[in-house]
Chains A and B, each alone.
Chain A
Amino acid sequence: MSIRSLELRARAVVEGFWNGLHRSPYHGFSVEFTEYRQYTPGDDPRHVDWRVYARSDRHYIKKFEDETNLRCHLLLDRSRSMEFGTLSHTKAQYAATLAATFAHFLHQQGDAIGLMTFDEQVRELLPARHRPGHLRHVYHAIESPAAGTSTQLGTPIERAADLLHKRGMVILISDFLADPAELEKPLLRLAAIGHEICAFQILDPAERDFSFKESSLFEDAESGNTLQIDPAAARDGYLERFNAHQQSLAALCARVGVSWHPIATDRPLGLALFDFLQDRARRGRIIRRAS
């Protein structure tokens, strides 16, 4: 987060990821997942990998799976609760960088990227495209200042379901500090269209652990309400309710078929990207096995 430019940050994360990939034991993952399989008669000889044949004297087909027209929609929460942060960066900054990283990564692969920012309503909407300059528009929209006062996750997802008819991938980035019950219906609707949904929950470590020490007046970032809190006394109750919320969210996602990624802002972004790809690989294998 020490790099000021969002674009440079995203590029650094992605390139760092690629550089690290050479030493990675998980070689060969990508959205356009490829595999080699033995040539069987009837296969198009154009797909025979002649280099492999030269090395191994066997015919292998280079198989491209889901290779075209992946439409990825980034749904980014810009509400006021995202402005909270106890580290050097806020959740909103982390989320923006994460969204930019995905955008850069997918753009690099030639996928079409769309963006929707929202708080209690949809603020910005960029349709999924893969054009020179589009990425810059995406960055610009991601960087525009947050204006929302509350998070109404249901409404924007409903709206996304209205707008995104063509199936693709939806990456939902939010802190999900809202009632899980109101999420279920919109998510089901979105999934029903055929979108593959990834939910990234951005959390500050303080939200996760409630590691405050001093007694003070706690102010809600969105509503402005205040409560006199002695952290020592309030921690247990908080953690209990917070974990219940997390569990209900995870259960909801499992039920709806959304891949659920809670990420704390102290976790390096590269690892978040890695988690995402690893999860996709696993899902890919599951799907393939199922097929």
Chain B
Amino acid sequence: MSFLAPLFLLGAAAIAGPILFHLIARTTRDRTLFSSLRFLRPSPPRLTRKSRIEHWLLLALRCLALALLALAFARPFLRQPTPPNAAQGPARRTVLLLDTSASMRRPDLWKDARARAERHIREASPSDQFAILTFDRTTALRLSFQQWEAASPADRTAVAIAALDTLQPSWFATHLGPALVRAAEELSDTDVSQEGVRRRVILVSDLQEGARLDPLQSYEWPKGIEVVPDPVKPATIGNASIQLLADSPDADRGNDPVLRVRIANSADAKQEQFRVTWGANATANGAPTPPPTEVYVPPGQARILPLAVPTNAPSLSGTASNTASLRVASIALSGDNEPFDNTLFVHPPQPAQLNVLYLGNDPVTEARQPLFFLARALPETRRQTVRISASRPTASPSTESLDNARLIVATDSLPDTLADALRSRIEAGQTVVFAPASAAASPTLARLLGVPGTSLVDEKPTRYAMLGELDFRHPLLAPFADPRFSDFTRIHYWRYRRFATPLPTNATVITRFDTGTPAWIDFPIGRGRLLFLASGWSTADSQFALSSKFVPWLYSLLDLAGASTTPALHPNVGDPIPLPTGRTEPLTLRRPDGSTTNLPVSLDRFTETDQPGTWWLGEGPTAIPVAVNLDPSESRTAPLSVEQLEKLGVQLDASLSSAAAPTPKPAGIPPALEAESRQKLWRWIIIGALAVLIIESLVAGITARRVSTAAQPA
């Protein structure tokens, strides 16, 4: 017999205790009540009786109980050679689920995980079935049960380890839920319906808090499949992360472009002071790098930090624009133990360029005419730059200017060719606003509408007309639907044009004057639309340009024309990148590591974003940068409690977690721990000790009764 913890045998020395107590018990302090002591004289017990031990049976039982306890704690086992197959027990069907997510890039984690995976493979007996799945954002089968079975029993271990050879942690997020479901399905999808086959999933992962478990909520975990978590532990604890936030609603205010980043610190972190620095490429032309920003984030909290976007010197940028000339940059977080998630790639939003073509005869300097107001109502912002180009209708604007114009505003009669050109643009999807200054423009309207004979009549109300009926459901008026903004009655109209002919059936009347005459009419034509205004915003027609509604209305008009700026695109690793539409030739995609791919014309989105960094769509100065960052959930590296898996219904086998798993030992004689844990002799010894204690209690009870009887006078 051998012992796992022989030092506990020293506990047997406690046997001396009962022996001592049995000797000491002779000098009892029991009290006996007696009627009168008048006939008694003090007589202390005789010393000669002290050395005598009574109740030998009790003493023996007590010593035996103590000895058995000491023996049980020493965890004895019988060292005997065991046939290797018998030790393995029944056949097992095992799926090794290996985490390859970005958080495994932390120092030594992958090495450790790999070693554990190899150990599990080596522990598989020839009668076992083994499969290997890896998971990050997706789950991949690296070695199937069939491949395992196909290999000869001697080669199986080598085949399985070879399947691990090419593996490296990716940059993707941890989708643990789908991976567990897939592993369970692999195990459930069994054609070997033998009884007694143990099915288990060995999960080698860092089990981070940010792992996604959603699919488990709606998945009923199959009975009989156990998950054995074998978590790898990082050398350091705590992690801080940096994440780009969406622009705040007031991002347009102020002149300094600002990026908002969120610095989060994990609850178990030791560090609290961090530093945020712009990458080396944040400035160009030798401009000084902005100083680092210190930020204090207590553990478990997060701070939102506004970061001023560094700009080049005005003289170098060549324009007094307040727009950041910075296209791409990286922001680094320092002061953190785990560097894998400390770089944030950004490309500050570039202002959208919107072209508006004005076709009219009025000069821009004429303060009563529409162009004057139009040119001043749409100032340049960080989000968009509206470029208004005016052209006389007779000057025949270039095709390019027509094509580039997001919105075309016409206020006068147009030559037929130009009207036809506009009509074709509308059909192609552009938006045209036609606000004729007089009914003389009827032929142009007829051509634009494609309804010959359409004619307009000038109307002049006795005093003024107001907008009496407004359809706030129309996108043009939707921003004014709130009762605070829906009062248009202060706008007086002096003149307007009325359709002398019936309106086409598909026309939508957006507003009517209080006289009932349609004021704004929406004509959908082809893929675009023609917006007819019965009265324009020249001061001769109305007060509209001077009202508070005018500027919002123009922006609403731009939105209607599809000019709304899209928010900056900041996908995470694995998210698709939408590709520009209407390409005529393959698009070159440049990865952060410099490699390029040609994307076919038919492709409308690129899905294989497998690393963080700046990806470029196209080449040269027109290339579009896309900053791809690590999934923020991957930065939540605090350990996930296995109880959470249990709550989601996953059946765990904690006893076989890595801590208790035996390390490989020479075959033949089983290792001490394994032999002991298999034999579990200590349990029987404890039961024996309990039995001895019960007998001791009985004997002590009987003895005490006998003693008390003897104490009574005969």
Q: Give A contacts to B, CB under 8 Å.
A: 81-82, 84, 86, 91, 175, 177, 204-207, 209-223, 225-230, 233-234, 237-238, 241-242, 245
B40 touches A238 (CB 8 A): yes
A220 touches B43 (CB 8 A): no
B42 touches A86 (CB 8 A): no
Which of B23-31, B308-316, B337-345 faces chain A?
B23-31
A-B contact list, 11 entries, CB within 8 Å: A84-B34, A177-B35, A204-B35, A205-B714, A214-B707, A218-B32, A218-B40, A220-B35, A226-B31, A237-B39, A238-B40
In the complex, what distance in Å separates the CA atom of A245 from the CA atom of B35?
A: 15
B32 touches A238 (CB 8 A): no
CB neighbours of A219 from chain B (8 A): 31-34
Chain B min CB distance to A248 (Å): 12
In the complex, what distance in Å separates the CA atom of A242 from the CA atom of B38?
A: 9
CB neighbours of A234 from chain B (8 A): 40-41, 43
Residue-wise, chain B 46-57 has the 8 Å CB interface mask toward A (1 for contact) of 100000000000
B707 touches A209 (CB 8 A): no
Chain B min CB distance to A126 (Å): 27
Contact of B32 among A82, A216, A242, A245 (CB under 8 A): A216
CB neighbours of B31 from chain A (8 A): 216-219, 226
A233 touches B46 (CB 8 A): yes
In the complex, what distance in Å separates the CA atom of A43 from the CA atom of B451?
A: 172
Residue-wise, chain B 367-406 has the 8 Å CB interface mask toward A (1 for contact) of 0000000000000000000000000000000000000000
CB neighbours of B235 from chain A (8 A): none
Chain A min CB distance to B479 (Å): 99
In the complex, what distance in Å separates the CA atom of A132 from the CA atom of B704?
A: 51
Contacts known (A205-B713, A209-B713, A211-B713); A84 close to B44, Cβ less than 8 A: no
CB neighbours of A210 from chain B (8 A): 713
A228 touches B37 (CB 8 A): no
A220 touches B36 (CB 8 A): yes
B35 touches A175 (CB 8 A): yes
> Which chain B residues numbered 41 to 98 have a C-beta less than 8 Å away from chain A?
41-46
Contact of B40 among A82, A209, A222, A227 (CB under 8 A): A227
A211 touches B714 (CB 8 A): yes
CB neighbours of A175 from chain B (8 A): 35
B46 touches A214 (CB 8 A): no
In the complex, what distance in Å separates the CA atom of A210 from the CA atom of B714?
A: 9
CB neighbours of A82 from chain B (8 A): 35
In the complex, what distance in Å separates the CA atom of A211 from the CA atom of B33?
A: 14
In the complex, residue of chain B having the shortest beta-carbon distance to the beta carbon of A175 = B35
In the complex, what distance in Å separates the CA atom of A136 from the CA atom of B183?
A: 92
CB neighbours of B44 from chain A (8 A): 228, 230
Chain B min CB distance to A31 (Å): 32
Contact of B713 among A212, A217, A222, A225 (CB under 8 A): A212
In the complex, what distance in Å separates the CA atom of A204 from the CA atom of B28?
A: 25
Contacts known (A213-B710, A234-B41); A81 close to B28, Cβ less than 8 A: no
Q: Give B contacts to A, CB under 8 Å.
A: 28-46, 707, 710-714
Interface of A is mostly: mixed
A221 touches B36 (CB 8 A): yes
A214 touches B42 (CB 8 A): no
CB neighbours of A220 from chain B (8 A): 34-37
Contacts known (A214-B28, A219-B32); A86 close to B39, Cβ less than 8 A: no
A215 touches B36 (CB 8 A): no
Number of A-B contacts (CB under 8 A): 103
CB neighbours of B33 from chain A (8 A): 84, 218-219, 221
| In the A-B complex, the 9 residue pairs with the closest CB atoms | A206-B713, A211-B713, A84-B35, A241-B39, A211-B714, A216-B30, A81-B35, A233-B43, A215-B45
CB neighbours of B40 from chain A (8 A): 218, 227, 229, 234, 237-238
Chain A min CB distance to B270 (Å): 64
CB neighbours of A241 from chain B (8 A): 38-39
CB neighbours of B37 from chain A (8 A): 218, 220, 223, 225, 227
Q: Which of B32, B34, B35, B38 has the most CB of A within 10 A?
A: B35
Contact of A213 among B42, B46, B711 (CB under 8 A): B711
Contacts known (A230-B45, A233-B43); A217 close to B35, Cβ less than 8 A: no
Contacts known (A214-B28, A217-B29, A218-B32); A177 close to B45, Cβ less than 8 A: no
Chain B min CB distance to A207 (Å): 6
In the complex, what distance in Å separates the CA atom of A82 from the CA atom of B35?
A: 7
B39 touches A216 (CB 8 A): no
CB neighbours of B707 from chain A (8 A): 214
B32 touches A228 (CB 8 A): no
Chain B min CB distance to A180 (Å): 12
Chain B min CB distance to A226 (Å): 7
In the complex, residue of chain B having the shortest beta-carbon distance to the beta carbon of A238 = B39
Q: Which of A91, A177, A215, A225 has the most CB of B within 10 A?
A: A215
In the complex, residue of chain B having the shortest beta-carbon distance to the beta carbon of A244 = B39
Contact of A214 among B35, B38, B41, B710 (CB under 8 A): B710
Chain B min CB distance to A232 (Å): 8
A230 touches B713 (CB 8 A): no
Chain A min CB distance to B154 (Å): 78
CB neighbours of A217 from chain B (8 A): 29-32
CB neighbours of A84 from chain B (8 A): 33-35
In the complex, what distance in Å separates the CA atom of A216 from the CA atom of B710?
A: 13
B36 touches A177 (CB 8 A): yes
B713 touches A86 (CB 8 A): yes
Chain A min CB distance to B217 (Å): 71
CB neighbours of A81 from chain B (8 A): 35-36
In the complex, residue of chain B having the shortest beta-carbon distance to the beta carbon of A229 = B43
Contacts known (A217-B29, A238-B39, A241-B39); A212 close to B711, Cβ less than 8 A: yes
Contact of B714 among A209, A223, A229 (CB under 8 A): A209
Q: Which of A205, A207, A227 has the most CB of B within 10 A?
A: A227
A242 touches B39 (CB 8 A): yes
Chain B min CB distance to A236 (Å): 10
In the complex, residue of chain B having the shortest beta-carbon distance to the beta carbon of A235 = B43
In the complex, what distance in Å separates the CA atom of A91 from the CA atom of B44?
A: 28
CB neighbours of B36 from chain A (8 A): 81, 177, 220-222
Given contacts A218-B32, A234-B43, 19 further A-B contacts (CB under 8 A): A81-B36, A175-B35, A205-B714, A214-B32, A215-B28, A216-B28, A216-B32, A219-B33, A220-B36, A222-B35, A222-B36, A227-B42, A229-B40, A229-B42, A229-B43, A230-B45, A233-B46, A237-B41, A241-B39
In the complex, residue of chain A having the shortest beta-carbon distance to the beta carbon of B36 = A177
In the complex, what distance in Å separates the CA atom of A287 from the CA atom of B34?
A: 41
Chain B min CB distance to A117 (Å): 18
Contact of A86 among B28, B30, B43, B712 (CB under 8 A): B712
In the complex, what distance in Å separates the CA atom of A241 from the CA atom of B38?
A: 9
CB neighbours of A214 from chain B (8 A): 28, 30, 32, 707, 710-711
CB neighbours of B43 from chain A (8 A): 228-230, 233-234, 237
CB neighbours of B39 from chain A (8 A): 237-238, 241-242, 245
In the complex, what distance in Å separates the CA atom of A218 from the CA atom of B35?
A: 9
In the complex, what distance in Å separates the CA atom of A84 from the CA atom of B40?
A: 16
In the complex, residue of chain B having the shortest beta-carbon distance to the beta carbon of A226 = B31
CB neighbours of A206 from chain B (8 A): 34, 712-713
In the complex, what distance in Å separates the CA atom of A81 from the CA atom of B44?
A: 24
Chain B min CB distance to A247 (Å): 13
CB neighbours of B32 from chain A (8 A): 212, 214, 216-219, 229
In the complex, what distance in Å separates the CA atom of A234 from the CA atom of B37?
A: 11
In the complex, what distance in Å separates the CA atom of A220 from the CA atom of B710?
A: 20
In the complex, residue of chain B having the shortest beta-carbon distance to the beta carbon of A233 = B43
In the complex, residue of chain B having the shortest beta-carbon distance to the beta carbon of A217 = B31
In the complex, what distance in Å separates the CA atom of A273 from the CA atom of B28?
A: 42
Chain A min CB distance to B23 (Å): 15
CB neighbours of B713 from chain A (8 A): 86, 204-206, 209-212
Q: Which of B30, B37, B44, B45 has the most CB of A within 10 A?
A: B37
CB neighbours of A204 from chain B (8 A): 35, 713
CB neighbours of B28 from chain A (8 A): 214-216
In the complex, residue of chain B having the shortest beta-carbon distance to the beta carbon of A243 = B39
Chain B min CB distance to A58 (Å): 57
In the complex, what distance in Å separates the CA atom of A223 from the CA atom of B30?
A: 18
